[in-house]
Amino acid sequence: MDVDTRLFRYFAAVAQEGNLTRAAQRLFISQPALTKQIRQLETLLDVRLFTRSRAGMTLTEPGRVLAAGVPGLLADWDRVRRETRSAASRAARVLRVGFLASAANELTPRITAAFAARRPGWRVDMRQAPWSDPTAGLAAGDVDAALLRLPFPGQDGLRTETLLTEDRWAVLPDDHPLAGRAEIPFPELWDEPFVAAPPETGPWRDYWLAVDAREGRPALIGAVTENPDDWLTAIANGYGIALAPASAARFYPRPGIVYRPVTGVAPTSVGVAWPPAADTDRVVQDFVRCCLDHRPPDPDGPADAP
């Protein structure tokens, strides 16, 4: 008997949530579809895993046994899958690098060119991720390193080095009442609806809503998007405004959209990130070194001697 690991992941979500509706929302599938998958797993195993009631989903004794074993099973499978895919990439002399939006801005092509010079015969496979994955595949082991916006969920479990820092600006429809301003104090945006990342991104979403600069006022959400194109479309259509790196004005110009400096919010940074297991990986460390070698000079650092 073969069981799709997806069924085990669905089972684990229901076991953890104790509720089909919440588990379905977490998995981004419909509740009827999730119910069907749980029943399929019960049929394959020929056991009843849950007792269903108005109070929710309660594990049976066989269900508790499976719930205890599934996390380790899935972790082993994920590890084997990551190692297999990594080996395939290494055999092909490919370094997989995840990124979000504009990656490391204008530094990105310089970094990849420097890596190609340092590692002849190798190439960098740049893989763009949706905003629902702020680690750009790094947490799942789908990439070897990543160029990411800091901070991001799970950052404490990874190695990171900051490459550049820039201000956060407001992104508004060009007919917005504040669009003609040269600079906007952030408190004037508190009551505006925002176009936000998905809620499961947690602290990353809160950072781009500047929750820490709202003095306890909740952010209003006008739309939720997962990529730059949908994000810009939502703003242009008037569903909300957003905060973005100042460089977005260069990388994502669009008719109907304006970018304006904002005061009262902290700047944002871009960093290179990699898993601790790659500390001894010479290929990954060569890429990290190329990133660090191309960091712009610190404008607040000591001046060069004459």
Those residues whose C-beta lies under 8 Å from the C-beta of residue 96, and which sit 6 or more positions away, are 86, 89, 125, 127, 137, 142, 143, 144, 145
Could you list the mean pLDDT of each consecutive 10-residue stretch along the chain, which spans 306 residues? 74 89 77 88 90 86 90 75 64 85 92 96 92 85 91 87 96 97 97 92 90 95 93 96 96 95 96 91 95 81 37
Q: What pLDDT does residue 195 have?
A: 97
Query: CA-CA distance, 58 to 124, in Å (whole number)?
Result: 47
- Identify how many contiguous H helices and E strands the chain contains and give both numbers: 9, 13
Give the CA distances from residue 45 to residues 1, 2, 4, 65, in Å, rounded to whole numbers and listed in that order: 9, 10, 12, 13
Q: What pLDDT does residue 28 have?
A: 63
90-144: per-residue pLDDT in tens?
655 789 999 998 889 999 999 999 999 999 999 999 999 988 888 898 887 889 9
| Helix, strand and coil in the chain, % to nearest 5 | 40, 25, 35
**Peptide bond connecting 151 to the previous residue in cis, omega within 30 degrees of 0:** yes
Q: Which of 64, 68, 58, 63 is nearest to 19 (CA)?
A: 58
Residue 170: what residue type? A
Q: What pLDDT does residue 262 have?
A: 98
Q: What pLDDT does residue 303 have?
A: 38
